[in-house]
């Protein structure tokens, strides 16, 4: 077949699928290639490969690197740009390692936890679950948050995780397969409120990754020194059900991790519903902030956290 006809066939295929469809398929096959590559190596070597991927991403991903720089400069006004850039590089390395570790979720067992994870605050979670009201577990995009669920599985906790669907339904299916293998029931952020209440009323552990921009649906509270549109869900669920809020962070430390479960937050209830939602939202935000200030290189600064503006 002449070269011109090959070119015409390729163009026709792109037109039929569309550029968006092509992009989704490329992302999907790239993810499957990574899955295959990491399956060939040990956990330790895979993490080193992931770190290298993170460094490459840091070098080529100019747009997100700039977002991270703007975010960090706004929060850490006293830090020099050179120090900020070092933090950003470590953020990318952490994300690369987290990517590699994600594919090992099905193999996280008691032996893995005993070897790699230092647990702190488990007694708070156990006591809260024993009350039978369920637990609202607020998690941030911090450290390797995806490993929290499989560690909970080892503990035998009744997991339900609220996940925001990816824009690419092909990669979303792969990602959710791994999340389900962690032992969690996965529901989307569009899950009816009554279903979430039911999960808590049955004594379940409801995991909410709630630290990103909430757009027009959020409430504005102070987060890292700036007004940020923030998810109201954790506070509303806690006020409606009396289920305690516990914050969990899985921090990367050396070749292992430290997983910290906070004491249940002391919920504030008055006769002013709107004020209660505001105060208790700020309460759990403050809990996450403590870890972000202490380990700034482990939070997801690449996200436009303050994209939604007050009155915007």
First to last CA, the chain: 57
Q: Are 44 and 256 in contact (CB under 8 A)?
A: no
- Calculate the CA dihedral of residues 119, 152, 91, 254 and round it to 10 degrees: 30
CA distances, 104 to each of 36, 46, 71, 119, 175 (Å): 12, 10, 31, 19, 12
Place 10 in a pLDDT band, splitting at 50, 70 and 90. very low
d(CA 186, CA 161): 5
Asked if the model's pLDDT at residue 3 lies above 50, the reply is no
**How far is residue 167's CA from residue 22's CA, in Å, rounded to a whole number?**
13
User: For the chain, how many residues are written?
Assistant: 312
Reported for 45-50, long-range contacts at CB under 8 A and 24+ positions apart, including other chains, are 46/100, 46/101, 46/103, 46/104, 47/97, 47/100, 47/101, 49/100, 50/96, 50/97, 50/98, 50/99, 50/100, 50/101
pTM, two decimal places: 0.91
Q: Which of 88-97, 104-113, 157-166 has the lowest mean pLDDT?
A: 157-166
- Residue 117's nearest CA partner among 244, 261, 246, 245 is 261
Indicate the domain borders of the chain. 3-102, 109-298
Task: Supply the pLDDT for residue 14.
Answer: 45
Quick one: what percent of the chain has pLDDT higher than 70?
A: 94
Give the list of residues 6+ apart from residue 225 with CB closer than 8 angstroms, or none: 74, 75
Q: Residues 197-251: pLDDT tens digits?
A: 999 999 999 999 999 999 999 999 999 999 999 999 999 999 999 999 999 999 9
């Amino acid at each position: 077949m002449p070269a011109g006809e090959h070119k015409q066939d390729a163009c026709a295929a792109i037109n039929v699928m569309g550029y968006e469809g092509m992009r989704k398929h490329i992302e999907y096959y790239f993810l499957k290639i990574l899955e295959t590559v990491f399956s060939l190596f040990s956990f330790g070597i895979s993490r080193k490969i992931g770190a290298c991927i993170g460094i490459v991403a840091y070098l080529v991903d100019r747009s997100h690197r700039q977002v991270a720089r703007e975010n960090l400069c706004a929060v850490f006004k006293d830090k020099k740009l050179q120090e900020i850039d070092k933090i950003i590089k470590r953020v990318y390395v952490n994300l690369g390692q987290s990517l590699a570790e994600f594919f090992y979720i099905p193999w996280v067992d008691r032996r893995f936890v005993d070897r790699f994870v230092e647990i702190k605050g488990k007694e708070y979670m156990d006591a809260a679950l024993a009350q039978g009201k369920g637990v609202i577990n607020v998690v941030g995009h911090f450290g390797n948050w995806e490993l929290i669920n499989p560690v909970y599985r080892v503990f035998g906790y009744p997991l339900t995780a609220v996940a925001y669907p990816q824009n690419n339904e092909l990669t979303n299916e792969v990602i959710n397969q791994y999340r389900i293998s962690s032992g969690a029931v996965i529901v989307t952020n569009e899950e009816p409120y009554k279903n979430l209440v039911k999960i808590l009323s049955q004594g379940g552990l409801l995991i909410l990754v709630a630290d990103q921009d909430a757009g027009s649906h959020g409430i504005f509270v102070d987060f890292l020194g700036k007004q940020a549109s923030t998810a109201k869900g954790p506070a509303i669920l806690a006020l409606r059900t009396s289920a305690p809020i516990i914050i969990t962070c899985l921090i990367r430390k050396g070749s292992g991790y430290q997983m910290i479960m906070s004491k249940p937050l002391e919920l504030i209830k008055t006769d002013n519903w709107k004020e209660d939602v505001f105060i208790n939202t700020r309460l759990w935000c403050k809990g996450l902030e403590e870890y972000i200030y202490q380990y700034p290189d482990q939070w997801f600064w690449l996200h436009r956290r303050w994209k939604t503006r007050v009155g915007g």
